[in-house]
Amino acid sequence: MLVFQKLSVLTIFLFFSLVLWISPAQASIQLQGQFRATQACEAFQSLRKGTNPGNIRLTPNIIYPVTAKNKQEATYYYLRIENANPASRWVSIDCGELLAVLKQKLSPNKP
Protein backbone atom coordinates (compact mmCIF):
# COMPACT_ATOMS: atom_id res chain seq x y z
CA MET A 1 0.00 0.00 0.00
CA LEU A 2 2.84 2.40 0.81
CA VAL A 3 4.38 1.84 -2.64
CA PHE A 4 1.02 2.61 -4.27
CA GLN A 5 0.73 5.89 -2.31
CA LYS A 6 4.23 6.95 -3.32
CA LEU A 7 3.50 6.18 -6.97
CA SER A 8 0.23 8.09 -6.77
CA VAL A 9 1.92 11.16 -5.30
CA LEU A 10 4.69 10.97 -7.91
CA THR A 11 2.15 10.63 -10.73
CA ILE A 12 0.16 13.62 -9.52
CA PHE A 13 3.34 15.70 -9.14
CA LEU A 14 4.50 14.83 -12.66
CA PHE A 15 1.06 15.57 -14.13
CA PHE A 16 0.87 19.06 -12.59
CA SER A 17 4.49 19.79 -13.50
CA LEU A 18 3.72 18.95 -17.12
CA VAL A 19 0.54 21.05 -17.13
CA LEU A 20 2.36 24.07 -15.71
CA TRP A 21 5.27 23.61 -18.11
CA ILE A 22 3.12 23.61 -21.28
CA SER A 23 0.57 26.23 -20.23
CA PRO A 24 0.90 29.82 -21.45
CA ALA A 25 2.74 32.26 -19.23
CA GLN A 26 -0.21 34.59 -18.81
CA ALA A 27 -3.42 35.67 -20.38
CA SER A 28 -3.49 38.67 -22.67
CA ILE A 29 -6.26 40.95 -23.80
CA GLN A 30 -6.87 41.01 -27.54
CA LEU A 31 -7.25 44.41 -29.14
CA GLN A 32 -7.86 45.82 -32.57
CA GLY A 33 -6.41 49.29 -32.67
CA GLN A 34 -3.58 51.57 -33.68
CA PHE A 35 -0.42 52.74 -31.91
CA ARG A 36 1.69 55.74 -32.96
CA ALA A 37 5.34 55.43 -31.98
CA THR A 38 6.90 58.52 -30.40
CA GLN A 39 10.24 56.86 -29.55
CA ALA A 40 12.59 54.34 -31.18
CA CYS A 41 12.01 51.67 -28.52
CA GLU A 42 12.95 48.00 -28.74
CA ALA A 43 10.26 45.59 -29.94
CA PHE A 44 10.50 42.28 -28.07
CA GLN A 45 9.48 38.86 -29.32
CA SER A 46 9.35 37.65 -25.72
CA LEU A 47 8.90 39.87 -22.69
CA ARG A 48 9.92 37.15 -20.28
CA LYS A 49 13.16 36.37 -22.11
CA GLY A 50 13.78 39.91 -23.40
CA THR A 51 14.51 38.62 -26.90
CA ASN A 52 14.59 40.94 -29.88
CA PRO A 53 15.66 39.01 -33.01
CA GLY A 54 16.91 41.42 -35.66
CA ASN A 55 17.30 44.19 -33.06
CA ILE A 56 13.94 45.65 -34.18
CA ARG A 57 13.03 49.14 -32.97
CA LEU A 58 9.98 51.30 -33.54
CA THR A 59 10.20 54.19 -35.96
CA PRO A 60 8.84 57.43 -34.45
CA ASN A 61 5.68 58.84 -36.09
CA ILE A 62 4.80 55.49 -37.69
CA ILE A 63 1.40 53.99 -36.88
CA TYR A 64 1.36 50.26 -36.10
CA PRO A 65 -1.59 47.87 -35.77
CA VAL A 66 -2.19 46.71 -32.17
CA THR A 67 -3.39 43.13 -31.62
CA ALA A 68 -3.22 42.79 -27.80
CA LYS A 69 -2.12 44.22 -24.49
CA ASN A 70 -0.41 42.27 -21.73
CA LYS A 71 -3.04 42.98 -19.02
CA GLN A 72 -6.04 45.18 -18.24
CA GLU A 73 -3.82 48.01 -16.95
CA ALA A 74 -1.39 47.56 -19.84
CA THR A 75 2.35 48.06 -19.61
CA TYR A 76 3.00 46.56 -23.08
CA TYR A 77 1.15 46.38 -26.40
CA TYR A 78 1.52 43.61 -28.98
CA LEU A 79 2.11 45.24 -32.37
CA ARG A 80 2.46 44.03 -35.97
CA ILE A 81 5.72 45.39 -37.36
CA GLU A 82 6.34 45.06 -41.09
CA ASN A 83 9.69 43.54 -42.08
CA ALA A 84 10.27 42.10 -38.59
CA ASN A 85 10.62 38.35 -38.22
CA PRO A 86 8.50 37.43 -36.36
CA ALA A 87 6.26 40.38 -37.14
CA SER A 88 4.36 40.39 -33.82
CA ARG A 89 6.31 42.20 -31.09
CA TRP A 90 5.77 43.58 -27.57
CA VAL A 91 6.53 47.27 -26.97
CA SER A 92 6.25 49.41 -23.86
CA ILE A 93 3.21 51.68 -23.66
CA ASP A 94 5.67 54.51 -22.90
CA CYS A 95 6.98 54.32 -26.48
CA GLY A 96 3.97 55.99 -28.03
CA GLU A 97 0.24 56.48 -27.81
CA LEU A 98 -2.75 54.26 -28.39
CA LEU A 99 -4.84 56.07 -31.03
CA ALA A 100 -7.91 53.91 -31.41
CA VAL A 101 -9.32 50.69 -30.01
CA LEU A 102 -11.97 49.01 -32.14
CA LYS A 103 -12.41 45.81 -30.12
CA GLN A 104 -11.17 44.29 -26.84
CA LYS A 105 -11.49 40.68 -25.64
CA LEU A 106 -9.81 38.58 -22.92
CA SER A 107 -7.75 35.76 -24.40
CA PRO A 108 -6.67 32.76 -22.30
CA ASN A 109 -3.61 32.26 -24.51
CA LYS A 110 -0.65 34.46 -25.18
CA PRO A 111 -0.81 35.89 -28.70
Structural domain including 34 reads 28-107
Question: What pLDDT score was predicted for residue 100?
Answer: 80
d(CA 63, CA 17): 42
β-bridge mates for residue 33, sequence order: 66, 101
Task: Give this prediction's pTM.
Answer: 0.70
d(CA 107, CA 6): 38
Question: What pLDDT score was predicted for residue 102?
Answer: 79
Would you say residue 103 lies in a domain?
A: yes
Number of domains in the chain: 1
Question: How many residues belong to the chain?
Answer: 111
d(CA 46, CA 59): 19
Would you say residue 17 lies in a domain?
A: no
Burial 46-62 (b: 16+ CB within 10 A, else e): ebeeeebeeebbbeeee
Summarised one tens digit per residue, pLDDT across range 26-55 is 578 999 999 999 999 999 999 999 999 999
CATH code for the domain in which residue 55 is found: 2.30.30
β-bridge mates for residue 92, sequence order: 76
Would you say residue 88 lies in a domain?
A: yes
Q: Which stretches of the chain score pLDDT less than 50?
A: 10, 13-25
